[in-house]
Amino acid sequence: MKYTYTILFAAVGFFLGRGMTGVVIGAIIGFALDNLNFTQRREAAPESGGYVVPLFQLLGAVAKSDGRVSEAEIATAERIMTRMGLANGQRQAAISAFNTGKQPEFDVTTPINALRQWAGLRRDHAFPLLDVVIETVLAEGSPSPEKMSILRQLAFALRISDMELMALMAMKGYVWQGAGARGQGYGTGHGNNGYVPPQRNAQGPDPYTVLGIARDADDRAIKRAYRKLISEHHPDRLGDLPEDMRKRAESRASEINAAYERIKAERGFK
């Protein structure tokens, strides 16, 4: 805990109180303010592991949303638990949460609100959460409208835009075909609307989609989008998160850098 207010108010007390009495009174007031500020920061900060139960509740709901939980989705959940390095108690809690989430009539707003509260305003925590859910959404290939609807609800709660969500999906090799307003859900079952796996070439996904910009954007806009994305996805900003989520951030950062280098080479700017 920092003692900024303690020192400041002690000094003020010395000058106003003209002696040790003023110093003591000022220090007491300052210490109380320092303690209150420390408590508020600690309560606002994400706690390591505090996302596990709501995250796996949501994964269970995603898996069940189209009617049945497949072996691929169960295997994906188990793989995520293993990569997160969950201890025995945490793993059992995650399994129980997954089973709770796949129950009929489970309300996804409960875990979504919990994840929003955990992430707070930290977008560098929001993106790894989305990445884990996307992995489950794509476990069976092209996702159903029900799965995409839940994913969009989470993205909206975490203050991640549709364009940014499209960029995350593009990094997985999927693109959005068709437009839709927020709240209507992804895919309607009509035409070709929905996420579908594109024909990826050897260079990877479309670099403009990865950066979340239009192909006709000017060089300044491209540089600005790149700097914003790379700062938000940099693994050094993740703090106390599992190694799996750190690796996800490193992978996204590599995709962003690769996309930017492709655009620079294509356009010929530095």
> In the chain, what percentage of residues exceed pLDDT 70?
66
The whole-model pTM stands at 0.63
SS (H, E, C) the chain: CCCHHHHHHHHHHHHHHCCHHHHHHHHHHHHHHHHHHHHHHHHHCCCCCCCHHHHHHHHHHHHHCCCCCCHHHHHHHHHHHHHHCCCHHHHHHHHHHHHHHCCCCCCCHHHHHHHHHHHCCCHHHHHHHHHHHHHHHCCCCCCCHHHHHHHHHHHHHCCCCHHHHHHHHHHCCCEEECCCCCCCCCCCCCCCCEEECCCCECCECCHHHHHCCCCCCCHHHHHHHHHHHHHHHCHHHCCCCCHHHHHHHHHHHHHHHHHHHHHHHHHCCC
| pLDDT value at residue 78 | 93
| pLDDT value at residue 108 | 96
pLDDT in tens, 209-222: 778 788 888 888 88
| pLDDT value at residue 110 | 94
Q: What is the mean pLDDT of the chain?
A: 76
In the predicted model, is pLDDT for residue 53 greater than 80?
A: yes
> In the chain, what percentage of residues exceed pLDDT 90?
27
Q: pLDDT band for position 48 (50/70/90)?
A: very low
In the predicted model, is pLDDT for residue 179 greater than 60?
A: no
In the predicted model, is pLDDT for residue 208 greater than 90?
A: no
Q: pLDDT band for position 205 (50/70/90)?
A: confident
| pLDDT value at residue 238 | 58
In the predicted model, is pLDDT for residue 234 greater than 70?
A: no
- Domain extents for the chain? 4-44, 52-267
In the predicted model, is pLDDT for residue 39 greater than 50?
A: no
Task: Tell me the mean pLDDT in the region 175-181.
Answer: 48
Task: Tell me the mean pLDDT in the region 244-254.
Answer: 73
In the predicted model, is pLDDT for residue 172 greater than 70?
A: yes
